[in-house]
Amino acid sequence: MTSDQTLSTCLVSTGEEVLRGEIADGNNRFLATTLGEQGFTIEMMMTAGDRREDLLFVMRTALERANYLFISGGLGPTEDDLTAEVAAELAGVERFFDEASWEAILALFAKYKIECGENNRKQAMIPIGATVLANPNGTAPGFSLSFTLNGQTKTIVALPGPPRELQPMVHTFLAERQGEVVAQRDDLFIRFLGLGESTLAERLEPWTRQWGEVSFRQAFPEMEVKLYRPDPERAAALCQFAEEHLGDYLLDYSAQSTAELFTTFMQQGSAKLAFAESCTGGLAAKTVTDVAGSSDYFLGGVVSYANAVKENFLDVAAQTLNEEGAVSEAVAQQMAEGALARFSADISLSFTGVAGPGGGTEEKPVGMVWMAKSSAAGTQTKCLHLILDREHIRLGAVYHGLRWLMEDWLSGYRNSKENSQ
């Protein structure tokens, strides 16, 4: 292959259960990610049920749009499994009974001491000219079929529906065709925290007016901006613009989440961390421990939902709670200092706020969250005013807290990555 155009690709998933939403379509997501990493350009994704006319329509449409069609499902033994039959029709060929595929099917049934039905012979019917893709994990062999359509070479790659069968088959298919995959520039990811899509698009408008559009993806509470395989000059221009105009919200030039980035930050030092959580209810601890490697730095936390727990486990003064209330700067400060002492930590972070939907007042509305970070150097506090529902407020608070802990490190980390490239 010599250009991205020759690797233009459409993805089709099949099956009534997928079409009706009874089964989530994870196959197209896997294919889009895996093929994209190998230089394929994804033009469209489509889903068809088990009706022949629908399958013929989407497969023909895909081949008119792209040179590759990866289709999952429809390779089973029943009457409504029609992928091989329709692929042969589009290529203008007949199907043949592939003895090697049949022997593999029989061997799999024998392995599990199950009787093989006569209808399974259908799974060994392969379009003439196709290359069989062996399936060691199931009874449905896949195939790749190349043919000429309207003067252009088209390739149908037919794959079984179960992910445990499809995914190894895709990796094998790509490994056997390494010489065909073109070298491509990497996509550029830039992650922001604290800006919605409309505001971020508005802030980027001076850049897009000169350099062209970008893609946005909400991954709450973060916003991801992506350039697909940009040339180096365009990528550098966007990174520079983000640093100069959006630095207060900028996380990193990668697809790493805040939690993943935070683990990288903590593993570069030897500091130990503890949390004191009220409104977040243990979500901060869950967020960091969801990422492998957190045991290197995370000691533990206290979920001090009740005031008595704040007093007894974090040494928050009863007088402070009575006079200031649980959602206050003073309580957040004492919670962080209490966690620092109780865990003998190097850094601590606390959260106390009103997550809603009830409990808010004019003075302390829903979405108000006080945070404090404490270390031997002292304690700092910060107040957030978050929006949306309870889940978003809690998660937003955690992500803002993690970014706050590493804010002084982030800029240097991004610069070091740029200089090493």
The amino acid present at 310, given as its one-letter code, is K
Query: Does residue 374 share a domain with residue 331?
Result: yes
Instruction: Tell me if 416 is assigned to some domain.
Output: no
The amino acid present at 195, given as its one-letter code, is L
Tokens of 153: 């070479």
CATH of residue 213's domain is 3.30.70.2860
pTM of the model: 0.66
Tokens of 358: 């009830």
**Which of 252, 277, 308 finishes a domain?**
252
Query: Does residue 271 share a domain with residue 239?
Result: no
Contact yes or no for 123/75 (Cβ under 8 A): yes
**Structural domain span for residue 351:** 258-409
Query: Does residue 199 share a domain with residue 67?
Result: no
Instruction: Tell me if 414 is assigned to some domain.
Output: no
Sheet with 222-227, side-by-side order of all strands: 215-219, 222-227, 188-193, 250-252
Query: Does residue 236 share a domain with residue 139?
Result: no
- What's the confidence (pLDDT) of residue 1? 34
- Which residues neighbour 248 within 8 Å (Cβ) at sequence distance 6 or greater? 194
Q: Using CA of residue 75, residue 24, residue 62, residue 8, what is the dihedral sign?
A: negative
**Which of 203, 228, 252 finishes a domain?**
252
How would you write the pLDDT of the chain (421 residues) with one tens digit per residue? 333 457 899 999 999 999 999 988 999 999 998 998 788 889 999 999 999 999 999 999 999 999 999 999 999 999 999 999 999 999 999 999 999 999 999 999 999 899 999 999 999 999 999 999 999 999 999 999 999 999 999 999 999 999 999 999 999 999 887 655 444 557 788 999 999 999 999 999 999 999 988 999 888 899 999 887 788 899 999 999 999 999 999 999 887 889 999 999 999 999 999 999 999 999 999 999 999 999 999 999 999 999 999 999 999 999 999 999 999 999 999 999 999 999 999 999 999 999 999 999 999 999 999 999 999 999 999 999 999 899 999 999 999 999 999 998 998 888 776 666 5
**What is the total count of domains within the chain?**
3
- Pairwise CA distance, residues 224 & 165, whole Å: 32
- Which residues neighbour 236 within 8 Å (Cβ) at sequence distance 6 or greater? none
CATH of residue 86's domain is 3.40.980.10
Q: How, if at all, do strands 222-227 and 215-219 pair?
A: antiparallel
Displacement of CA 340 from its chain's centroid (Å):
34
16: Cα within 13 Å, side-chain hemisphere: 6
Contact yes or no for 392/221 (Cβ under 8 A): yes
Tokens of 140: 């449905």
Query: Does residue 169 share a domain with residue 57?
Result: yes
Contact yes or no for 353/385 (Cβ under 8 A): no
Instruction: Tell me if 84 is assigned to some domain.
Output: yes
Query: Does residue 280 share a domain with residue 243?
Result: no
- Pairwise CA distance, residues 302 & 95, whole Å: 65
Instruction: Tell me if 419 is assigned to some domain.
Output: no
**Which of 180, 198, 216 finishes a domain?**
180
Instruction: Tell me if 418 is assigned to some domain.
Output: no
Render pLDDT for 130-153 as a digit per residue (tens, 0 to 9).
999 999 999 999 999 999 999 999
Q: How many residues does the chain have?
A: 421
Burial class of residue 266 in the structure, from the number of CB atoms within 10 Å of its CB (0-12 exposed, 13-18 middle, 19+ buried)? buried
Query: Does residue 24 share a domain with residue 121?
Result: yes
